[in-house]
Structure 1
Amino acid sequence: MILLHIRCYPAYPTPPKLSQELSKNPTSYPSSSVLLCSSECKLKLSSKASFQCSCTEKENTHEASSQILSLLAVQILELIGTLFLLQWTAKPQYKFINFFKTNKLSKERNWLLAAVLGCGFLFLLVFITSILADRLIGPKAVNNPVLKEILLSSKISKATCFLVYCITTPLLEETVYRGFLLRSISATMKWQRAIFISSVIFSAAHFSGENSLQLFIIGCVLGCSYCWTGNLSSSILIHSLYNAMTLLLTFLS
């Protein structure tokens, strides 16, 4: 930018000699060389601005892709670590593979039907609580600006967001909060109380005060689905569908 200003500096201030000639002869105009220099200056400035804008967009896209890819890598490592701990330290009934085994309860109750009904009920509850929150507290933005920027940055970011929020997150959180935590505490108390306690822990673990009520409701629905079917597949599917709908609303809002 400095070099451009130095090279085209004569195009803006009028030199003393040219100023005297213009005052003597009002009908005289700047020479073609002066106009050419001015045009070249504008063209170079425009090209420079376009280049800077293009570079900024590429940097933002690269940064957004790096963020979501890093999150995917971290969650995969967390999932692997969780499965390793369950495999080698937990009791046999808390091993990951046993969360999906068919038992007497899961034979009587279709986990896929339970997932569909639970998902519809969850959307209804979240919608109602959102309306109540808007009236009591005030409206807030629907979309997450950071997440939306990542979704709009590139196709790779969109695909990675889907992997993170619709596959790895449901697998990780349902294994920890429903498969292990809820199943553990329900062995020592009534299932209703166990769902309440696990949902409180699930909500608190997200460190989101403004969304704590909705997270608690989500935890209750997921916990009820798991307790009713005895199969972790139902709560994983509900969790995945809910996150997919959240991504879609964020992208479209």
Structure 2
Amino acid sequence: MMGFVSTVRVRNAARSNPMIRRRPFRTYECRREFRGMVRMTGSDLPMESTPPAVPDEESAIVLEDQRPKWAPEWLPNWVINPNPWLQLAILLPLYAVHLFYFSKKGWPLPFKFLAKDKGGHSLGNNLENLTLDSVVGFLVLAGTLIWRKAMKLEPVVPNLLKSENPPWEVPKGLKVKLLTTIAFLITAFVLSGYGAVFCEQILCVLSVYGVPLTIPTMRAWKVLLGHLMWVYMGVKILGQQLKPFFPPKGKWIGFSVKSNWVWWSIGGYYASSFLFNCADIVNQLIIPQSLFNEETVVSKLVNPENNDLVAMLIGSLGPCVSAPVFEEILYRGFLLPTLVCYMPMHFAIPASSVLFAAHHLNICGVLPLSVLGFAWAIIYTFSRNLLTTILIHAMWNSRVFLGSLLGL
């Protein structure tokens, strides 16, 4: 009875109030707008209202459960859930500190490590300094374990090659289609090489007709255009063959800008430097020194003849901008989940790492790049956010070009 009386009074209020004329409800939004106006103008009517929510003990427990297990109570919320712009403001200075200070400072060792071959002849691989970036990277890894122990996270040393909740979700029944997708990607990679040669011929013709193109600039354009062809074809193949592949509709890739990615990114970058330096020492023991002296395409892009800044700028676009995004999508976003469909994860992660290194076509870099691929695959699996490894990859490639440009 009370509900009927309230309804009648509301209708009378609506008739008497010129502000809320009756009109046909065309959409759900119109109905919501009308009801809101009735509540505002008829606040004196005996209508039933919902009291404001008051946090009780149960809701407080729910909010407390939402706090990450690694975060102590005294840690402020801006550290746990920082704004994306704040995360960027934290990331860039820490990257600059590593670039300008950590990677350039070190301590001389009390002994000189000199690699020799089987005959006792020097290979010229000296290790005279303990670099600060290696120390900082080791401290990041050690500090992570200490933090986990202090927060009673079990196990303290987790199984890095296993994930109960990986960041990807591969649709069922795609095993055959995955193989055809890999075949298409390999074909596209080969075709992009021929495309780069074709672009080089066009650039030569343009230089004949007076276009100012130096040899380093032509080389940089050739590499960049060939790379962009490969990226375009690769994105098209993944998007068409595995539709939907990319977020938000696709479930292949875990990606989020609003989540906490800054600590994963900067910590992963520091730790990657330590792991890479360790792998590089072993690499110098097993690879002949003559192979290190051979000049590669990347070294020519980083150090072009006559310090050609235009060529360096063009050559840096691919490695520093597009390559980190595409290679992370390809190897961590596609290849790693694909391999998990055919083998256990503790085999898939090392396999994807070796393939990542082999893709760079540099025998001297197979071991260090495999270690990097291994570390980045683990970081992606545990952070559940491909943005973390994209940023690590971009910082890693950028420091090579920035170091050459700034003479570091």
TM-score of the alignment, normalized to the shorter chain, above 0.5: yes
| Cross-structure match for 1:87 | 239
CA contact (8 A) 1:151 1:161 kept: no
Q: Give the aligned partner of residue 166 of structure 1.
A: 320
Aligned positions, number: 190
1:125 and 2:284 correspond: no
Q: Using the alignment, how far apart are the partners of 1:191 and 1:152 within structure 2?
A: 48
Residue 231 in 1 paired to residue 385 in 2? yes
Bigger CA radius of gyration: 1
Question: Comparing both chains, which one has the higher relative contact order based on Cα–Cα distances under 8 Å and sequence gaps of 6 or more?
Answer: 1
- Aligned equivalent of 2:334: 180
Structure 1: tracts of 5 or more residues without a match: 1-58
Give the unaligned 5+ runs of structure 2.
1-210
- Partner in structure 2 of residue 23 of structure 1: none
Indicate the residue corresponding to 1:215 in structure 2: 369
Matched, 1:112 2:266: no
Give the Cα separation in 2 of the matches to 1:209 and 1:60. 35
Name the one with the larger strand percent: 2
Give me the whole-angstrom Cα distance separating, in 1, the residues matched to 2:294 and 2:398.
15
Larger % of helix: which? Answer: 1
Q: Matches of 1:171 and 1:75 in 2, distance apart?
A: 13
Report what 2:66 is aligned to: none
**Structure 2: distance between partners of 1:243 and 1:142:** 20
Distance 1:211 1:153 in 2: 25
Tell me, yes or no, if the aligned pair for 1:199 and 1:219 is still in contact at 8 Å: yes
Contact 2:264 2:379 in 1 (8 A): yes
Deviation at 1:131, TM superposition (A): 2.6
Give the C-alpha shift of residue 188 in structure 1: 4.9
Amino acid at match of 1:204: A
Map residues 35-74 of structure 1 onto 2, 5 A cutoff: 62-74=214-226
Render the CA deviation track for 1:47-79: whole Å, top value 9, x for unaligned: xxxxxxxxxxxx997110111112111212211
Question: In the aligned structure 2, how far is the partner of 1:73 from the partner of 1:136?
Answer: 35
Alignment equivalent of 2:400, drawn from 206, 225, 246: 246
Quote how far apart the aligned CAs of 1:243 are: 1.0
The alignment-based identity, stated in percent, is 23
Q: Work out whether residues 64 and 149 of structure 1, in 8 Å CA contact, stay in contact via their aligned partners in 2.
A: no
TM-score (norm 1): 0.64
Deviation track 1:94-149 (CA, whole Å, cap 9, x = no partner) reads 3265435449xx95xx3322111111111111112223333555654598552344
Report the secondary structure of 2:284's partner residue. helix
Residue number among 349, 355, 358 corresponding to 1:195 in the alignment: 349
Q: Please tell me whether the aligned partners of residues 220 and 311 of structure 2 are also in contact (alpha carbons under 8 angstroms).
A: yes
- Once the two structures are superposed, residues 141-176 of structure 1 have per-residue CA deviations (whole angstroms, 9 ceiling, x without a partner) of 598552344275433222222211111111221111
Provide the rounded CA distance (Å) in 1 between the counterparts of 2:240 and 2:262: 30
Secondary structure of the structure 2 residue equivalent to 1:160: helix
Change (3 A) 1:151 1:172: farther
Q: Greater CA deviation, 158-167 or 186-195?
A: 186-195
- CA distance 1:202–1:136, shift in 2 (3 Å): closer
TM-score between the two structures when normalised by the length of structure 2: 0.41
Following TM superposition, by how much is the alpha carbon of 1:228 offset from its aligned partner in structure 2, in angstroms? 1.2
Q: Which amino acid aligns with 2:367?
A: L
Sort the Cα spacing of 1:96 and 1:174 in 2 relative to 1 into closer, same or farther, 3 A: farther
Q: CA deviation at 1:83?
A: 1.4
Deviation at 1:227, TM superposition (A): 0.9
The structure-2 alpha-carbon separation of the partners of 1:138 and 1:208, relative to structure 1 and needing over 3 Å to count, comes to: closer
CA contact (8 A) 2:255 2:386 kept: no
In the aligned structure 2, how far is the partner of 1:232 from the partner of 1:184? 16
Contact 1:64–1:153 under 8 Å retained in 2: no
